[in-house]
Structure 1
Amino acid sequence: MKKRRKMIRAVKYTGAIVLTIGILIFLYGFFISDRSYITGIGIGTVMGAGFLFIMGIFFAATEESLKERLSRWRNKFRRKNK
């Protein structure tokens, strides 16, 4: 349980930091800079932050599902051997 909480917390903070950086890059490219590629980099960074967050949550949920399945399988196997 602690391991999953640490992972979710790390994903949350990493995603928030990357999202903030992406928004700042996007705003700089859209309003201040005269180069359009900076805006694209900002959009890509924001999308990357969303991808990181979704994949981290997916990995945490998958880990929990596999732990439950493994514990059920072990209990079933132990009952058969007794």
Structure 2
Amino acid sequence: METKLQILNAVKVVGITILTIGISIFLYGFFVSDYSAITGIGIGTVMGAIFIFLMGVFFVATEEMHEKVNQRIRSIQ
């Protein structure tokens, strides 16, 4: 259980860091810069942060379900 919490905390910290960087890049590109490519990079960074967070949560949930199935199989035998 402790390793799952460590993975969730790591994914949370990485996701929040990349999300903050992406939002700042987006706001810089939208309000300050004249180049629209910077806005696109900011949007892509935000989407990447969300993807990383969702994949981390999915892996933890998959691992937990895998352990529950293994416990049921062991209790049947």
TM bucket (normalised to shorter chain) is: over 0.9
When the two structures are superposed, what TM-score results if normalisation uses the length of structure 2?
Answer: 0.97
Q: How does 1:1-82 map to 2 (within 5 A)?
A: 1-77=1-77
Give the Cα separation in 1 of the matches to 2:3 and 2:65.
14
Q: Distance in 1 between matches of 2:21 and 2:70?
A: 40
TM-score relative to the length of structure 1: 0.92
Q: How high is the sequence identity, in percent, across the aligned residues?
A: 57
Which structure 1 residue ranges, 5 or more long, are not aligned?
A: 78-82
Runs of 4+ in 1 over 6 A off after TM superposition: none
Greater Cα radius of gyration, structure 1 or 2: 1
> Unpaired runs of 5+ in structure 2?
none
